[in-house]
Amino acid sequence: MTGCATCVDSTGNVFVVTGNGNYTQTAGTFRLAGGTVTSSTALNFTGGLVDARGTINAAITHSPNLQPALSGNGLVVNGAVSLLNASKLTFQLGGLSQGRQYGFLNVNGTVALNGNLVVSFVNSFQAGTNDNFTVLSSTAPLIGSFVNVPSGSRVGTTDGSGTFLVTYSGNTIVLSNFQVSGARPSAPAQDAIPAMPTLAARSSDESQSIHTPGRVGRTRMGTPHAGIALQYTDQLRTLMENIPATRAGTGGSVVVVHPQPGKPVISKGAKPLPAAAVKTPDHRLLPGKLGPTREN
């Protein structure tokens, strides 16, 4: 006993003698720390807190906060448990060991669910996404539903750190798939735009040689932009035909052509090409010099 006038504490065996009525608690704390409470009639809790581990040999009708305490094998109730509309069934999570580190209610009888399910972290514990907690088990199928969390929905922890998926079907209640509050879901992978085998996309006009046709990947600001050095004029046409349209959906991509300095290579009878302009799909003309080429 703790000296609290409104508390019932026990670490041993308590036999409740009620005559023709039920034991009723309207306030205070009913604390069972590993012992056994036996009653020939139902225990009626209408107020206060029930913080218990060990064994209760009686049916329970419950309105306030029922919290299976940590340590041992949790709380065993040999009798029916009826949670009323104002009740709270609270489970503390302080580790992965059932009963000893997280709250566990084991009922040999029926369980009528109602009221609110409450989940709290203790002892600086933080659950992982793949951690599962079976917090309640009964020998008969569960009846009813929690008011605040139907089966298949999520319940938040009391500290606001995250939420658990709550599943109750058959005769168990399981908490799983913990998700940290405020965490953003992974962005779906965007369709990759394959890069040209020998032409890497760049954010500057630095030139580089190309040898096979292909498509230019996206770079800064989503605009394909690369400098190239052409070996022959057909390469420009091939490149322009294979560059994909931009995600804006209206125009294509811009190719900036800079000739490589060097001696012209011109076949007999061919004339150097004059300055040329490249027309983009949005009908803009880009001035540029293709430089000396040779006929193929």
* DSSP character string of 90-156: EEEESSSSBTTTB--EEESS-EEE-SEEEEEE-TT----TT--EEEEEESS--EE--SS--TTSEEE
Q: How far is CA 137 from CA 83, 142, 249, 270, in A?
A: 15, 9, 57, 90
What share of the chain has pLDDT > 70, as a percent?
A: 54
d(CA 31, CA 4): 11
The secondary structure of residue 288, as a DSSP letter, is E
* pLDDT value at residue 171: 96
Average pLDDT over residues 196-222: 45
pLDDT confidence tier of residue 23, bands split at 50, 70 and 90: confident
Q: Is the pLDDT of residue 275 over 70?
A: no
Q: Count CB neighbours of 202 within 10 A.
A: 18
pLDDT of residue 17: 47
User: 168 in helix, strand or coil?
Assistant: strand
**225/205 Cα distance (integer angstroms):** 8
Residue 151 to residue 23: CA distance in whole angstroms: 32
The confidence band for 40, taking pLDDT boundaries of 50, 70 and 90, is: confident
Q: What is the pLDDT of residue 268?
A: 54
For residues 159 and 193, what is the distance between their CA atoms, to the nearest angstrom? 44
Range with the poorest average pLDDT among 75-79, 177-181, 199-203:
199-203
What are residue 235's phi and psi, to 5 degrees?
A: -65, -35
Helix H, strand E, coil C: the string for 15-75 is: EECCCCCCEEECCCEEEEEEEEEEECCCEEECCCEEEEEEEEECCEEECCEEEECCCCCCE
- Return the CA Rg of the chain: 37
Write the pLDDT tens digit of every residue in 139-153.
999 999 999 999 999
Two tokens, residue 48: 């206060």
**What distance in Å separates the CA atoms of residue 151 and residue 7, rounded to the nearest whole number?**
34
> pLDDT band for position 121 (50/70/90)?
very high
Mean pLDDT taken over the chain: 74
